[in-house]
Amino acid sequence: MDRVEIDTGRGKERVPPGQYLVGDRWPILTYGPTPTADLSTWDFTVSGLVENPLKFTWEEWNELPRVEVRADMHCVTSWSKLDNVWMGVWVKTLLEMAKPKPEAKFFNAICDGGYTTNAPGEELYEKDALFATHHNGEPLEPGHGYPLRLVVPRLYAWKSAKWIRGIELLAEDKPGFWEENGYHIYGDPWREQRYSFSF
């Protein structure tokens, strides 16, 4: 299994400005109710501007090669949780199968419950971007995204979509739920790109 160690990217300070550490605590931040997963009907799709659209059942998903990524998590509400060990499937593994078309520059993450979030497609090729089923050796708890969540450690944690069911590759950036409600379109914690307006 491939293992990726902490990489804050481009030589940055480990903890971004304005963040405090929660230690062993792990807050749950969800807008709305926690969706329940039915693994017998669960599927995962890669759609939009790709040569090979993909669709997986839960059984098929579990055949994909696993990676382990150690990464920090930074929420826009200012808490950070360090040293999370995630296990799952590299996003880039899926993208190599799906083959995004040249014009596919952005993605939209689609979740059970209707949550969405967006980012440039290149973020998904980073070696610490994965679809995680496990955190610190345990399956994700329902509140943290069971059975599957996206983890994009280089961006604020609202981009790490819980209960994810698919990604859609797009030519234009498409603001997701929080991006439409005042959060920054990109959300780099080291540049404190918290909101799309200033106070």
Q: Which of residues 51-80 bind Mo ion (CB under 5 A)?
A: 75-76
Question: Which residues are within 8 A (CB) of 167 and not within 5 positions of it... i.e. 6 or more apart?
Answer: 45, 46, 47, 48, 91, 94, 107, 108, 109, 110, 124, 150
- Least distance in angstroms from the C-beta of 160 to ligand MTE: 5
- Least distance in angstroms from the C-beta of 131 to ligand MTE: 13
* Comparison of 91 and 111: residue with beta carbon closer to ligand MTE: 111
68: tokens are: 């382990």
Q: Which of residues 127-186 bind Mo ion (CB under 5 A)?
A: 157-158
Picking from 166, 161, 131, 145, the residue whose alpha carbon sits closest to that of residue 36 is 145
- Least distance in angstroms from the C-beta of 137 to ligand MTE: 16
Q: What one-character DSSP code corresponds to residue 164? A: E
* Comparison of 44 and 177: residue with beta carbon closer to Mo ion: 177
* Comparison of 45 and 196: residue with beta carbon closer to Mo ion: 196
Strand partners, 84: 71
* Comparison of 68 and 99: residue with beta carbon closer to ligand MTE: 68
Q: Which long-range contacts (CB under 8 A, 24 or more apart) does 5-14 make?
A: 5/70, 6/70, 6/71, 6/72, 6/83, 7/71, 7/127, 7/128, 8/72, 8/154, 8/190, 9/126, 9/154, 12/190, 13/190, 14/72, 14/82
Residue 85 near residue 140, CB atoms below 8 Å: no
Using CB distances below 5 to 8 A depending on partner kind, what does residue 31 bind out of ligand MTE, Mo ion, none? ligand MTE
* Comparison of 85 and 99: residue with beta carbon closer to ligand MTE: 85
Interface with ligand MTE (CB under 6 A) = 26-31, 75, 111, 113, 115, 144, 157-158, 160-163
Using CB distances below 5 to 8 A depending on partner kind, what does residue 115 bind out of ligand MTE, Mo ion, none? ligand MTE
- Least distance in angstroms from the C-beta of 165 to ligand MTE: 10
Q: Which residues bind Mo ion (CB under 5 A)?
A: 29, 75-76, 157-158
